[in-house]
């Protein structure tokens, strides 16, 4: 537990490649990071697994929004877990809450049964839980391997006091992975303040400018606050610098 590890949060083949070359110990493969991530394409998973010898965990999230899921959404999540298990994923990243803000133990257990012997990370549904310490014990009781958290704050730096408390309460019973706003300039600070050795980052330096020459103005294909002509992508050197810091904790 708490062995130094850096996980890349990635949504494309290009980002996976950059993270692998930059020293990622594990990938969390997603789609649509701009809305917090959803379940990725099995095709991208197959591309990456074929070419890189790296552990791949897949996010299982059917949509943007809260973590209160309908029966049909849970059925979908179960099928997605089975698909990625059959494709050889190392693990899955899941989270389901009750209307009252606790982990939905019945539905979480159902998803974990589908995962069988795969690693399971409780994602940042933890950060939306009513009581982080109760959710911690629930995750341990379920048998989750890891909790991904910002310390119930907007980013990991603001969440450091809670991260420290959760890490200490976990006491080696489950890995605590710091994520959301992890950058090369704050990894050491977070480690020193909390004791955490496990980090989750996109390793994105800056948005990549689109190659489009003709640009249609005034039309948005998605969120109007975002440019259609910028691409989110992991930067190999940026990720390498993050990885070197984390791996030095060994």
Residue 208 has pLDDT above 90, yes or no: no
Predicted confidence (pLDDT) per residue in 103-145, tens digit: 999 999 999 999 999 999 999 999 999 999 999 999 999 999 9
The string of DSSP letters for the chain reads ----EEEEEE-SHHHHHHHHHTT-SEEEE-B-GGGT-BPPPHHHHHHHHHH---EEEEE---SSS-S---HHHHHHHHHHHHHHHHHT-SEEEE--B-TTSSB-HHHHHHHHHHHTTSEEEE-GGGGGSS-HHHHHHHHHHHT-SEEEESSSSSSTTTTHHHHHHHHHHHTTSSEEEEESS--TTTHHHHHHHH---EEEE----SPEEP--SS--TT--SS-TTS-TTEE----HHHHHHHHHHHHTT-
The pTM score is 0.94
- The average pLDDT across 52-68 equals 97
- The average pLDDT across 161-190 equals 98
pLDDT band at 53 (very low <50, low <70, confident <90, very high): very high
pLDDT for position 223: 74
Q: Is domain 5-247 annotated with CATH 3.40.50.11540?
A: no
Residue 221 has pLDDT above 80, yes or no: no
pLDDT for position 170: 98
pLDDT band at 3 (very low <50, low <70, confident <90, very high): very high
């Amino acid at each position: 537990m708490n062995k130094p590890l850096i996980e890349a949060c990635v949504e494309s083949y290009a980002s996976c490649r950059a993270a692998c070359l930059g020293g990622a110990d594990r990938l969390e493969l997603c789609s649509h990071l701009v809305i917090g991530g959803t379940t990725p394409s099995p095709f991208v998973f197959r591309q990456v697994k074929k070419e890189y010898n790296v552990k791949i965990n897949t996010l299982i999230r059917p949509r943007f929004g809260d973590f209160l899921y309908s029966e049909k959404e849970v059925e979908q999540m179960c099928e997605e877990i089975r698909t990625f298990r059959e494709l050889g994923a190392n693990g899955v990243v899941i989270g389901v809450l009750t209307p009252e803000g606790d982990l939905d133990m019945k539905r979480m257990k159902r998803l974990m049964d589908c995962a069988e012997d795969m690693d399971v990370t409780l994602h940042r549904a933890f950060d939306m839980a009513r009581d982080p310490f109760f959710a911690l014990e629930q995750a341990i009781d379920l048998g989750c391997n890891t909790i991904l958290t910002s310390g119930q704050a907007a980013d990991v730096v603001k969440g450091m006091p809670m991260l420290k408390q959760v890490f200490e309460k976990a006491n080696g019973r489950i890995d605590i992975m710091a994520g959301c706003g992890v950058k090369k300039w704050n990894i050491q600070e977070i480690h020193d303040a909390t004791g955490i050795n496990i980090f989750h980052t996109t390793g994105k330096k800056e948005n990549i400018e689109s190659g489009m020459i003709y640009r249609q103005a005034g039309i948005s294909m998605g969120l109007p606050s975002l440019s259609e002509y910028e691409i989110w992508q992991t930067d190999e050197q940026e990720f390498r610098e993050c990885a070197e810091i984390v791996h030095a904790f060994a």
